[in-house]
Amino acid sequence: MTGDAAWEGLPAPLVDLRHVTVRRGAHVALHDVSLTIPGGEHVAILGPNGSGKSTLIKTICQECYPLPEEGSSVAVFGRQRWNAAELRKLLGIVAQDAGVSSRPITGREAVLSGFFSSVGLWPHHRVTAAMQERTAELLEWLEVAHLGERRIAEMSSGEVRRILIARALVHDPRACASWRTRALLLFW
């Protein structure tokens, strides 16, 4: 849904990791990783479970941080420091299930929760008409409008995946990432 205009004014490269090492507990999940992805690229990273694909995405999204070593840096859209909420609006992340399958919510509620970076809607969330309209547009575009009122728990894994893609796109991100068991796909 984003075209060439989405890149106007954005610095390149979109992701620039240099000598990044990330520990998760006692385990080194990424060791001395350097990766540069210029704007407009589509990248697939393949590997077995435990090879660091999820940690890579969490490092890009600033959910995991590299060890502070000389020469190590992470830049996303040309910046090393971000307000995480601001960055998440630019990155559409399609997680394994985003925790939505454990809550009794509908497809529409799952998509709307993307506006709040939450799992489901809560009483303090104020859903606007524009949010409702964007949700309907995305469900229609992904050909899952019929799933809007169906509970996530009653959907197939493919149907849930489409709902999660819609959720990731609510802010019209500049890049999107989706990962599965053995593959990480980055759509820039």
Question: Do residues 64 and 130 both lie within one domain?
Answer: no
Query: Are 173 and 33 within 8 A, CB to CB?
Result: no
Question: Do residues 71 and 102 both lie within one domain?
Answer: no
Question: Residues 6 or more apart from 74 whose CB is under 8 A from it?
Answer: 16, 17, 18, 20, 59, 60, 62, 66, 80
Question: Do residues 8 and 84 both lie within one domain?
Answer: yes
Question: Do residues 105 and 141 both lie within one domain?
Answer: yes
> Low-confidence residues of the chain, pLDDT below 50?
1-7
The whole-number pLDDT of residue 2 equals 39
Question: Do residues 59 and 108 both lie within one domain?
Answer: no
The whole-number pLDDT of residue 186 equals 56
What is the residue range of 127's domain?
A: 97-168
The whole-number pLDDT of residue 133 equals 97
Question: Do residues 135 and 79 both lie within one domain?
Answer: no
Question: Do residues 16 and 75 both lie within one domain?
Answer: yes
What's the structural domain count of the chain? 2
pLDDT, tens digit, 9 for 90 and up, residues 133-149: 999 999 999 999 999 99
Q: What CATH code is carried by the domain that includes residue 56?
A: 3.40.50.300
The whole-number pLDDT of residue 4 equals 45
The whole-number pLDDT of residue 7 equals 46
Question: Do residues 64 and 46 both lie within one domain?
Answer: yes
Residue 71, token pair as written in the block: 């020469």
Question: Residues 6 or more apart from 13 whose CB is under 8 A from it?
Answer: 36, 37, 38, 39, 75, 78
Question: Do residues 109 and 83 both lie within one domain?
Answer: no
The whole-number pLDDT of residue 51 equals 84
The whole-number pLDDT of residue 160 equals 87
The secondary element (H helix, E strand) that includes residue 136 is: helix 129-141
Q: What is the pTM of this model?
A: 0.64
Amino acid at 100: V
Distance in Å from the first CA to the final CA of the chain = 12
Q: Given phi > 0 = left and psi -120 to 50 = alpha, else beta, which region is 84?
A: alpha
The whole-number pLDDT of residue 118 equals 79
Question: Residues 6 or more apart from 57 whose CB is under 8 A from it?
Answer: 93, 177, 179, 184
The whole-number pLDDT of residue 3 equals 42
Question: Do residues 73 and 102 both lie within one domain?
Answer: no
Question: Do residues 104 and 63 both lie within one domain?
Answer: no
Question: Do residues 104 and 73 both lie within one domain?
Answer: no
